[in-house]
């Protein structure tokens, strides 16, 4: 962020403290409260600046990786600063060392499997993205959008894509009659490729460079997938208290894109929640049942887990994956619609875990969670601002954060995943 004649200018491809030559992008009306610009020349570089590993990480190039020009250490410091600023400004929290602070300083943790596909191994920030959506242009070439644009930049090789994704050669094929192509590289079995139609007729996928399951779908919405070869779902795996468990994920349904993220988040959630045998737990926005499985293992057969999910495909996958856990009950529907009924039933909850979309849970959901009077709430968030707003709402009902962890689940981008634990005042729950 820079200032020009008193106006804020958000400068992409720059780093704090640098002196750059910036070119405005979009409108520069005198009445605008801020402008946007691209750094087209670096005059005085930051010591944190590195050469981007992808030639398309530049002004006018691919808009997916916004921080490739910063070292990994600098990226994590910047993410920690963003989380800290949002929590302090929007949630009114104080972060720092020693007494008098609500939380200790934020440290963004690298994930164990980070960089597994990088050219030199180790913590490279490359080769991690197991879910990739390509947009296809009018010539059938797949690629990605530039920043704040609907254009398509053709991409044959993506350095942050998992090696299984790159091995398919999706970016090097031509996808006639296709609007977009989703690729999922799972923990078990072949990758899955889903091509979305660009018109009334189903697309005809080209030959791929490596074995894969292939399906097609309508352009608008997900609807039902039509199998071309293989199967229409993938199998993912994590350890639940040391025991392997597989999860079915249909099509391009939600699963963490970093290969180490699901395990790290599950472990962090269980550590923060510390579910006890016989307790009642809620898993809100439960997806395919990752956290429900962990909660069920901890509360045991005498406990209960209620999983709430609105996406019918994800809910069906969860039923299949958790069929051996009778203590899990599924409540299909929007969390905002289902939760009031659970509150009215008066059963309460000992533990509530929620993993809402990027927009956050919202005031109504947070207030309903507080009305259940759980002894602990664990909030998984991919947007620090949404997390901070919901923490402020929770604080108004007596629930304050007692711990927070942040994970670098999206290297080379500004995105960060957080897990916050909230508790009521002692003796109130």
Fold of 131-234: OB fold (Dihydrolipoamide Acetyltransferase, E2P) (2.40.50)
Query: In DSSP terms, which residues pair with 285 in a beta bridge?
Result: none
Q: Of 25, 44, 21, which is closest to residue 34 (Cα–Cα)?
A: 25
Give the span between the Cα atoms of 180 and 195, in whole angstroms: 6
Global confidence as pTM: 0.95
pLDDT tens-digit series, residues 271-313: 999 999 999 999 999 999 999 999 999 999 999 999 999 999 9
Q: Of 417, 355, 360, which is closest to residue 392 (Cα–Cα)?
A: 360
Question: Do strands 34-44 and 7-12 pair parallel, antiparallel, or not at all (unpaired)?
Answer: parallel
Q: Of 62, 25, 61, 19, which is closest to residue 44 (Cα–Cα)?
A: 19
SS3 content of the chain, % helix, strand, coil (to 5): 20, 30, 50
Question: Do strands 19-25 and 351-354 pair parallel, antiparallel, or not at all (unpaired)?
Answer: unpaired
Contact between residue 64 and residue 414 where contact means Cβ atoms under 8 Å apart: no
pLDDT range class, residue 120, cuts 50, 70, 90: very low
Q: Say what the pLDDT of residue 33 is.
A: 86
pLDDT tens-digit series, residues 299-353: 999 999 999 999 999 999 999 999 999 999 999 999 999 999 998 888 889 999 9
Task: Tell me where in the chain the CATH 2.40.50.1070 domain(s) lie.
Answer: 131-234
Q: Return the biggest CA–CA distance within the chain.
A: 66
In this structure, how many other beta carbons lie within 10 angstroms of the beta carbon of residue 428?
10
The mean per-residue pLDDT over the stretch 136-140 comes to 96
pLDDT tens-digit series, residues 362-409: 999 999 999 999 999 999 999 999 999 999 999 999 999 999 999 999
Contact between residue 140 and residue 129 where contact means Cβ atoms under 8 Å apart: no
Residue 334 CB-half CA count within 13 A: 7
pLDDT range class, residue 114, cuts 50, 70, 90: low
Active site residues: 382
Rg of the chain over CA atoms, in angstroms?
23
What are the backbone dihedrals phi and psi of residue 369, each rounded to the nearest 5 degrees, phi first?
-60, -45
């Amino acid at each position: 962020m820079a200032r020009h004649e008193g106006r804020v200018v958000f400068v992409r491809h720059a780093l704090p403290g640098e002196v750059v030559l910036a070119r405005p992008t979009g409108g520069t009306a005198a009445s605008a409260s801020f402008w946007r610009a691209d750094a087209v020349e670096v005059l005085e570089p930051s010591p944190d600046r590195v050469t981007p590993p992808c030639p398309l990480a530049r002004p006018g190039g691919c808009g997916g990786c916004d921080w490739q020009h910063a070292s990994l250490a600098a990226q994590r410091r910047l993410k920690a600063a963003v989380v800290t600023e949002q929590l302090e400004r929007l949630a009114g929290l104080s972060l720092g060392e020693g007494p008098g602070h609500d939380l200790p300083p934020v440290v963004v943790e690298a994930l164990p499997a980070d960089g597994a596909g990088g050219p030199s191994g180790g913590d490279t920030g490359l080769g991690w993205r197991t879910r990739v959506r390509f947009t296809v242009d009018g010539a059938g070439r797949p690629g990605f959008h530039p920043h704040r644009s609907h254009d398509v930049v053709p991409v044959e090789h993506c350095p942050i894509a998992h090696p299984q994704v790159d091995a398919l050669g999706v970016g090097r094929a031509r996808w006639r009659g296709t609007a977009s192509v989703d690729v999922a590289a799972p923990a078990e079995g072949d990758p899955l490729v889903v091509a979305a139609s660009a018109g009334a007729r189903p697309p005809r996928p080209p030959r791929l460079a490596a074995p894969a399951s292939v399906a097609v779908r309508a352009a608008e919405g997900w609807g039902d997938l039509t199998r071309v070869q293989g199967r229409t779902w993938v199998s993912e795996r994590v350890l639940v208290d040391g025991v392997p468990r597989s999860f079915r994920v249909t099509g391009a349904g939600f699963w963490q894109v970093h290969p180490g993220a699901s395990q790290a988040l599950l472990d962090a959630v269980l550590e923060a929640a510390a579910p006890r045998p016989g307790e009642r737990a809620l898993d809100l926005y439960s997806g395919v049942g990752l956290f429900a499985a962990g909660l069920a293992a901890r509360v045991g057969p005498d406990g209960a887990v209620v999983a709430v999910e609105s996406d019918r495909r994800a809910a069906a996958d969860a039923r299949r994956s958790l069929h051996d856990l009778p203590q899990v009950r599924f409540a299909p529907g929007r969390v905002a619609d289902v939760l009031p009924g659970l509150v009215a039933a008066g059963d309460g909850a000992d533990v509530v875990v929620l993993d809402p979309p990027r927009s956050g849970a919202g005031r109504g959901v947070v207030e309903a969670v507080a009305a259940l009077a759980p002894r602990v709430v664990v909030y998984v968030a991919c947007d620090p601002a949404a997390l901070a707003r919901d923490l402020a709402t929770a604080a108004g009902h007596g629930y304050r954060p007692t711990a927070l962890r942040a994970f670098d689940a999206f290297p080379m981008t500004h995105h960060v995943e957080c897990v916050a634990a909230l508790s009521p005042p002692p003796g109130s729950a």
